[in-house]
Amino acid sequence: MKLGLFTACLPTLPLEAVAGWAAGAGYEALEVAAWPAGSPHPHQANHIDVDSFSDEQARRTTELFDRHGLTLSAVSCYENNLHADDRERERIHDHMRRCVDAAAALGVGVVGTFVGRDHARPVAEDLRRAEKHLPPLVEYATSRGVRLVIENCPMEGWHPDGYPGNLAYSPELWEWMFGLGLYLNYDPSHLVWLGIDPVDALVPALESGRVLHVQAKDIEIDEQRRTRYGIFGKTVSRRFPEDVGWWRYRIPGLGQLDWARIITTLRDGGFDGVVAVEHEDPVWSGSVDRIQGGLNVAADTLRPRIHDKQN
């Protein structure tokens, strides 16, 4: 296994700066954010512009990673591949195809994304839509030697009431999406607030050979506030969809996850890929220095566990 980071947390820095800092901080790999240029969301970085990616850019990117001794673990853009609007969904799919092309040009066999959802439809109907619209993306990727990995984030922020907006949040849905030719980008933090044991869920996914990438994020639960709001979170006082009020994401080591147990399970299950820190900790956010400080905490937490063969 290698310790990596997802570059989306540093959207204001160019890839060259992110790579140089990451290598100096002891990271070994980068999952590179590849949203379309000009995206307004703070966690939607454009560290590789796949829509204008050329052979020369592929050469320079490869040289950059080689110079810093880094592995490129995935080219990723987490958007709603089941968007309600047909034209917007096709725009997203076209961008995902460009991500696949860039990954293939860089010799990277993994592209990260979401399944998504149209929250105005029943889930059963959206599952059928996915079975129609996603296989062509899988076929496109497969023909270029690339596999699509789906992060198991519920994306409650995509739903007006904070309910799951990405149909990949449970092991039941993982098995369904594996049947479509998709793979898993396993993030244990999302499972905790859903009441799913992250290790019990991980073991069968590893046994199926479908875990190709891991994102490392922690979570902090406030049980008293959960008692007040319930598992669905705030209702009357909610300010925005993500404002659930009883949990928040944290840097690995500052939350409640047992990273020694998770990494041991990954190793025992034969996983030898990248564990990439996804920094969404509001305590360690704001300035670049603050974000990098959080990434240092994450590296100090995960590095000894990833490289301890006895762990």
Q: Are 103 and 58 in contact (CB under 8 A)?
A: no
Coil, strand or helix at 242: coil
Can you give the pTM of this predicted structure?
0.96
Q: Single out the residue of 160, 112, 155 nearest to residue 4, CA to CA.
A: 112
pLDDT at 311: 46
Q: What is d(CA 206, CA 303) in angstroms, rounded to the nearest whole number?
A: 21
Quickly list H helices, the chain: 15-24, 55-68, 86-105, 123-143, 171-178, 189-193, 198-207, 223-229, 259-268, 288-306
Q: Single out the residue of 174, 180, 253 nearest to residue 206, CA to CA.
A: 174
Coil, strand or helix at 32: strand
pLDDT at 309: 60
Q: What is d(CA 85, CA 264) in angstroms, rounded to the nearest whole number?
A: 43
Q: Single out the residue of 68, 65, 67 nearest to residue 47, CA to CA.
A: 65
Task: Find out if CATH 3.20.20.150 is the number for domain 2-306.
Answer: yes
Q: Are 141 and 147 in contact (CB under 8 A)?
A: yes
The CB density around residue 260, as the number of other CB atoms within 10 Å, is 12
Return the DSSP state at 159. S
Q: What is d(CA 98, CA 83) in angstroms, rounded to the nearest whole number?
A: 18
Q: What is d(CA 109, CA 31) in angstroms, rounded to the nearest whole number?
A: 12
Residue at token pair 């030719």: 181
**Strands 110-113, 147-151: parallel, antiparallel or unpaired by DSSP?**
parallel
Q: Single out the residue of 278, 281, 284, 292 nearest to residue 247, CA to CA.
A: 281
Residue at token pair 């044991």: 197
Sequence letter at residue 150: I
19's tokens = 């790579």
Mean pLDDT per 10-residue segment, the chain (311 residues)? 98 97 98 88 87 96 98 98 97 98 98 96 96 98 98 92 92 98 98 97 98 98 96 92 93 97 98 98 97 98 86 46
Q: What is d(CA 299, CA 26) in angstroms, rounded to the nearest whole number?
A: 7
